[in-house]
A = this chain, B = another copy of it.
């Protein structure tokens, strides 16, 4: 047995407490696997006296995470504070400079400062392990960085936010509106009081930025990700998708193209028969396309104290086992600058829902605008935009009421679709903003 590995643990929220408990419960087994004991030596959190249902008396207490990070007696600094700056950033930086390994679940910190922290870690010969930062308990970082290190990866995509997937699943299963499902998610603790960060896609973007760097060997670049949230998805979209053989998922997609790398987060139509379409509720999934392996899909819990602790503790055990690797899979100096592919050049199929004044000539005019941009239509479906009861009431005046028209295009470009929709708007046949949802080739 080697010397015990001594941890400094910063942050005692759900994940921190779960990490503490797991390290205690699995003490002997983990020591056996690693050939050395692993024990928590010191802790810090915002409040010392809060009842967390766990005895903290055997650990040294620090009020200041930076002081803990630098403490001479610890070998590993476990950062579970959160936030892309402030105490988390200062403490991680201090730990690395003091020669401590770092384990963190902090996606926001890595999305913002990952390149620099990885460089600092390399200079100081320490690890930064961050399996828990992306997709919770699913070991996707290890899979890309090690398990598929032999591949040229062409695309990585996934369902990376459980809140959004819960909402979209409920909308589909129970025919509810976005607002109704969000309320349920908040009641069940799946969504924050201010859900913006989740439902607008920012959380997914942070995770995607990390995956992109690992998959393509580029610097982490989280600021230029194309972002569309799920707040505009309606019951009509969910129902139309269902009829057409699709489901709507919030995907983060990173893809190599001729002009650079597309990083995009948006509601996406995926075929019902695809593996990613089966992922329901708060579950996460990540798929990786590689030139050797073909396509691999990993699915599992993306959040929650225990699932996140699973990844944090595995990262700690890797350090105890002496497994060291460049944080971003290669030396930071070898990372390529991130070259952004223009979203307008994106190629794919599109779902378009238009609310149309049902006048003679409206359809022909819309079809003409698509043709002008060389957009071929796979299908055009007129849908009832209103309930059956409204339908019955207004059947006399049906001709004047707006109708939903759903178009599915064959492969085209984002630019063509945007220009065609601008022209259609100008023509005055549609009464609301067009809905446009990208279809992912799976």
Complexed CA–CA distance, A137 and B26 (Å): 30
Q: Is A26 within 8 A of B150, CB to CB?
A: yes
Number of copies of this chain in the oligomer?
2
User: How extensive is the interface on chain A, given as a class?
Assistant: 35 or more
A314 adjacent to chain B (CB < 8 Å): yes
Complexed CA–CA distance, A254 and B147 (Å): 23
A191 adjacent to chain B (CB < 8 Å): no
A382 adjacent to chain B (CB < 8 Å): no
Name the distance in Å between A33's Cβ and chain B's nearest Cβ: 5
Interface code A288-320, partner B: CB below 8 Å = 1, 0 otherwise?
001111111111110010110111111011100
Give the contacting residue for A292; candidates B147, B309, B322; CB below 8 A.
B309
Given that A297-B299, A300-B296 are known contacts, is A146 also in contact with B318, CB under 8 Å in the complex?
yes
A394 adjacent to chain B (CB < 8 Å): no
Enumerate A155-188 residues with CB–CB distance to B below 8 Å: none
Which of A290, A297, A325 has the most chain B CB atoms closer than 10 A to its own CB?
A297
Complexed CA–CA distance, A290 and B323 (Å): 22
Given that A296-B138, A296-B300, A299-B275 are known contacts, is A314 also in contact with B33, CB under 8 Å in the complex?
no
Q: Is B310 within 8 A of A293, CB to CB?
A: yes
In the complex, chain B residues whose CB is within 8 Å of the CB of A275: 275, 278, 299
Enumerate A311-347 residues with CB–CB distance to B below 8 Å: 311-314, 316-318, 321-326, 329-331, 334
Q: Is B293 within 8 A of A307, CB to CB?
A: yes
Give the contacting residue for A298; candidates B278, B297, B321, B322; CB below 8 A.
B297
Enumerate A347-370 residues with CB–CB distance to B below 8 Å: none
Q: List 22 A-B contacts (CB under 8 A).
A: A22-B150, A30-B149, A33-B149, A33-B329, A33-B330, A35-B331, A137-B292, A137-B293, A137-B296, A142-B142, A142-B146, A143-B143, A146-B314, A150-B310, A150-B313, A275-B299, A290-B310, A292-B306, A293-B300, A293-B307, A323-B323, A323-B325
